[in-house]
Structures are given as C-alpha cells and as structure tokens.
Chain A
Amino acid sequence: MKIVYPHMGYMWICIKAMLEYLDVEVVVPPPSSKKTLLLGVKHAPEFACMPLKLNLGNFMEAAELGADTMVMAGGCGPCRFGYYAHVEHAILRDLGYQYQLVVLEPPQKHIGELLGKIKHITGHQSWRKVINGIRFGYHKAEAVDELEKTANYCRPREIKPGTTDRALQAALKEVIAADTPEKLPAARKRAFEIMRSVPVDRLRPVLRIGLVGEIYTLLEPFTNQDIERKLGGMGVEVDRSIYLSEWINEHLFLGLVKNKRSSKTAREKAVKYLGHFVGGHGLETVGNTVLYAEQGYDGVIQMLPFTCMPEIVAQSILPRVSTETGIPTMTLIVDEQSGEAGLVTRLEAFVDLLARKKQTGEVLA
C-alpha cells in the first residue's frame, strides 16, 4: 500500500512524519504547480472550486510515482467539500486510475471514528504506537506553524530582501529531516536558530494585516499566489487566521491541547452578524474579522476560491462588519487564472490606503 494525500501548504510534512513513523509507505505528490492545476482543470467539472482541481492534479501526479491509496479528508455540512473525496475518486476511476479510497472525516461524536480509519491505514500497529504517531505528526505541524509565524514577523523587517525566505526553506529542511519523535526537539531548536539569524530591523514601522477566509486558500501558497510573501515584501506583518496545528487540535483532537487559539472565540464574535453555521469557515471569517478589529490590526484580507459558498455569505457580511468596527477589509477571489498584476495592484492599493490611514490617524491623535 502506497499512500498519497493531497497538498495543503506544509501539511505534507506533518502527515508524512506520522505515517512513516507507523511504517506506512507514503508518496508525496510534487508540490502543486501549474502542471498540477492544468491536469486538474482538464478533468474536473468547470464550476468546482480550485481545491478540487488541485487535489485531482495531485493524485494524478502521485499515480506516476506509484501511489495506490488516496487518503482524503471528508466532511459534512453545507460546503460541498464533503463530496470531494468521492467525486475525485470517481473521476480518477473513469480516467483509468486504480485507486483505493480512504476518507478521513472529522469525528462528529467521538475521536474513535477517526482512529478507526487511521487503524485501517496503519494495519497491525498497536494503538499506543498509532497515538504516538499522531502526536509526532502534530508536533511537526506545530513546529512548521511556528516557523511560518516567525517568517511572517521577519519578512517586513528583513534588512536584505529574500533572506527570510531562504532561512525559512533551510529551517523547514531541518524539521522535515527529523524522522523520530526523539530527534524533533533538537531539529526544532536548530530550525529556530536559523530563523533567528535573519538580520531584522525591529524598530521599522510595519502595518499589520489579518488574513481570513477559506482554509485551503489560506494554507496553500500556490493557490493564494504567495500572498504572505507579497505582503511581507510591501512591509506588512501578516497574521493568518488559521494555522494547521490549530485546525488539527480543534477538529481532530476536539480541543484536547490547551492554550491554543481556538475558533470558538471567533464563532462567538460572529453571532452578532451571522447567527448560524453556513459551512466551511464562513462563520470564522466573519468572527476573525471582528477579532482583528478588536486587536487593533490595520486591515483584513479575505481570500476565497471562486464559487465558494460559505465565503460568499461571509463576503456579503464583511462590509457591515467593516463599517461598524472601522477596520478596512478587502476580498480576493482566486481561480485558475494567473493574473498576478491585478492581484499585486489590489494589494498595493490596499496597503497604501492602510498606510495613509495610519499616518493621518497618528497626526490627529
């Protein structure tokens, strides 16, 4: 059994660690690229959103590397993502790929549902080992998230452009190379030393922008056209509203790990504007925007794949949130188009607006 799972940012690092620790053979698809998207667009229904197209491309590219079992997340709720595992499987079968399908669904009642599926993949491993494996993967996700957060802090402050990105890549390599839970703490330490070696100007004034929106678009830099790096280059410190480890803790461990940012606060904040679950991260998008406003951020950018229903609901509410809390918001919609100039113009204009607003605000204060 050679397992493949689709890309979502650096998620592959964490799942690969977990599965290889449990002696499962893993095929990591090549990073999502133009070729991946091209394959996906060719075979996916036109009005499906970009995540489906990229997942499909990932699976097709992985098949060339010998993968035979696809592991996909599932879900239930108004967002059609819940179908994706089955739709993708059916498309691949029609194309002649011989894939076995395992759908991992966030447990609705008990964590045992999920453990059962994991047991199916891992075979004869003891429960103890399985749980250790999951913990190992989770710790890797945490390390990667911390590194990304550090990079977001350094990027707008770096003295020589490009040093943060190079350091991040080197630091990630350290974390990836740790193949047992015992080696991870030391690797993590080395990785942070690399990040600390980036020369930064701590006194430089920066703008702070929060990123909200659909999880895949936020986590996968290929999809969002590297928005965090682009904003960093414009002198903006970015905070992403969802990090992988937070999501895992919330949805897979049902909040087992304490002292982690939870989307519960965000959902509570959203109630004033949106009273019920709309699927996906619609509620969180609204709520996080309110939170960012309260935390004194300069602006919020919402990202969503074209045709994403939960986010469209949130999008239509954001102008009201913006007027009532005073935080400027902007929505960016992504699809297979690679029109980068348009994206850069919008980002620059938004950053300009925030900078001017901050300047005049400071003069008045």
Chain B
Amino acid sequence: MYCYLGIDVGSVSTNLVLTGEDGTVKHSIYLRTRGKPIEVVQQGLKQLQEALPGKIKVAGVGTTGSGRHLAGVITGADIIKNEITTHAIAASNVVPGVQTILEIGGQDSKIIILRNGVVADFAMNTVCAAGTGSFLDQQASRLNIKIEEFGPLALQSTVPVRIAGRCAVFAESDMIHKQQMGYNVSDILAGLCEALVRNYLNNIGKGKEILGPVVFQGGVAANAGMKAAFEKALGMPVHVPPYYNVMGALGAAMLAREATNRKSTGFKGFGVADRDFKAGGFACDGCPNVCEVVEILESGRVIARWGDRCGRWSNLIPGEKIS
C-alpha cells in the first residue's frame, strides 16, 4: 500500500502524519520538540515504522513548520512548504467549503482567509506573541493548573472578568490583580480567553472578513475555553477538526502526494532514524556580520548549510571549496 508522510516541525511540537492514497489519516504521532528537532524527527520515524505493518511503502514526503528545511534535508523531502499553505490545504480537505481558518500555535497566531478553496488572504502576528500557546501554558502553570484542565475550568465560569489582552505582560499583571480581588480561577481563565480572542481578532484579523464555516486549529484549539470565546465573539459556530493539532503535517502529506504524482520520491527511507546526523557550525569571518553558519552533517558529510546573510556558504554546493 502506498502512503504519504507529512512532517511538521514546530517550536513546541513535532508531528508526523501518514495518509493513505485517498488522503485519510492512517497514523499520527505528536511529539514535543524540546529544542532537539533532529532527534525528534528520527524518533518519530522510528515510532512510525514500529507502528506500521511491513508492506507499507512511502511514496512521498512533505515537511512544514519552522523546522521544515532541517526536516526536509534529513528525510529527503519531496516538498518543503510553509505552515500557511499546508494548514489551508488540510483544513479545506477536512472541512469542505471552509472560508476562514483561525490558527494558534506555540509561537505564531495566524488567520487564513479562503475563497473558493484558494487562499485569498492571510495574516500572521507581527511583533507580539500575546495569546499564543506558550503564553497560555505559562499562565496555567503559574496558577498550578494542568493545561488540559484549562478549557473545562474556563467553561465553568458564569461571569468572565475583564482582562487586558493587548500585551502578555499587562495581561499577566491584570490577572494577578483580579486574583487578589478575590475572583475565582474559572472566571479569570474565561476572562483571559476572551481577552486573547479580542486581541487576536483586533491584531491578526483586523480588516478581514470572517465568513463561515470557520475552522479553529493548532495546539490551542484543544482549549475548549478558547473555542467558546471565539464562538461568542464571532457569533457563529467554530469547528475544531479531529486532527486539529497535526493539520500542518496532514497538509504536508497531501502536498507530497500532489508533488510526487508520477514521480519517484526523494525519501531516504526509515533507515534515516538510525543514521548519524550532526549540526555543526562556525562563525564566518568574511565580513563584520560574523554570521553563524550551520552545517548539517550526515555521517560526517555536509548535506546542507544555512545561516549566512550573503549566500557565500548556503549557495555552495556541498564539496565545493572557497578560496
């Protein structure tokens, strides 16, 4: 059976999705990146191989997420696409006719507007990361609440308190103030969700026409409090797809299928999991920028370089010498 593999290497999580030829999800793996993208990709491949029956053949690989180039080089991906495209592709396949995608991940929040199945517009947070997953995580741990309990607790609230959502630092001090005034935790959490939704719609969604069906995805979509706050603010139902947290990987797998149509794959095989990858690096002394050039080595051989501003090293074909 032919399958397609999608890998999404994000700042917080790394996801792998294997789809069948018809685009259905056969297997998905969610791992924490923990700052070690190479190891985690290898670990994911190993887990995937163990979970699968032997007669599966990977006919295409796509990578996405902020670590897409790294993962692409390691696995020999057929297609390396950014998150916007992969999320849009996945969402429009899972929820046909979707016109708006709200996406909140660990570091980024974005809105994608689709019309007639094509991305018509998008926006991503520019200078501020208030309201992204990492901030919610941090607030939950400050209140000593497991992140999984965050949503259900927020839903219990009857009177959400008003919290400043414009800036993560102000939101935190406002929360502390409300907590000292004696509000209970569920009202504060619900208030925080509403504040973040307000902030999201003002900063990311400003000037964009939000039409249904609306899909909410990314790690934060697990939070029922955020979903409820979005529904309240938008006045329309918000869908959370079943694979909400691996949509990027799913989209990458779908794109890999498109890209390898009647072509052979560049996939290096599951053996990649046991190969020795290293990230080496050096500071280039070509100019005062002193760029940190990173080299990805496979068994001691350079397979990719990046990090230089001028292209002196990244444009270099491996093996070429600089005089």
Contact surface of A with B, Cβ cutoff 8 Å: 30-31, 33-36, 161-162, 165, 222, 225-226, 229, 306, 319-320, 323, 328, 331-333, 335, 341-342, 344-346, 348-350, 352-353, 356-357, 360
With A and B bound together, what is the CA distance between A335 and B127 in angstroms?
Answer: 9
The reply to whether A162 and B315 contact each other, CB–CB distance below 8 Å, is yes
Q: Is the interface of B mostly helix, strand, loop or mixed?
A: loop
Q: How far does the Cβ of A159 sit from chain B's closest Cβ, in whole Å?
A: 13
Given that A31-B288, A33-B287, A319-B206 are known contacts, is A357 also in contact with B118, CB under 8 Å in the complex?
Answer: yes
Residue of B nearest to A315 (CB): B126
Q: Contacts of B119 on A, CB cut-off 8 Å?
A: 352-353, 356
With A and B bound together, what is the CA distance between A332 and B315 in angstroms?
Answer: 25
Residue of B nearest to A344 (CB): B82
Q: How far does the Cβ of A160 sit from chain B's closest Cβ, in whole Å?
A: 9
Q: Does B66 contact A (CB under 8 A)?
A: yes
Known contacts A319-B208, A342-B66; 8 further A-B pairs (Cβ under 8 A)? A31-B288, A161-B315, A162-B315, A229-B311, A306-B127, A345-B124, A350-B122, A360-B118
The reply to whether A332 and B126 contact each other, CB–CB distance below 8 Å, is yes
| Interface pairs A-B: 10 shortest CB-CB | A319-B207, A162-B315, A349-B84, A33-B288, A348-B82, A33-B289, A345-B82, A341-B66, A333-B126, A30-B288
Of listed A162, A226, A360, residue having the most chain B CB within 10 A: A162
Q: How far does the Cβ of B67 sit from chain A's closest Cβ, in whole Å?
A: 9
The reply to whether A165 and B82 contact each other, CB–CB distance below 8 Å, is no
The reply to whether A346 and B289 contact each other, CB–CB distance below 8 Å, is no
Q: How far does the Cβ of A361 sit from chain B's closest Cβ, in whole Å?
A: 10
The reply to whether B126 and A331 contact each other, CB–CB distance below 8 Å, is yes
Q: Contacts of B289 on A, CB cut-off 8 Å?
A: 31, 33-34, 222
Which B residues between 133 and 161 are near A, CB-CB below 8 angstroms? none
Q: Does B83 contact A (CB under 8 A)?
A: yes
The reply to whether B124 and A352 contact each other, CB–CB distance below 8 Å, is no
Residue of A nearest to B116 (CB): A360
Given that A34-B289, A341-B66, A357-B118 are known contacts, is A352 also in contact with B85, CB under 8 Å in the complex?
Answer: yes
With A and B bound together, what is the CA distance between A356 and B82 in angstroms?
Answer: 14
With A and B bound together, what is the CA distance between A306 and B146 in angstroms?
Answer: 36
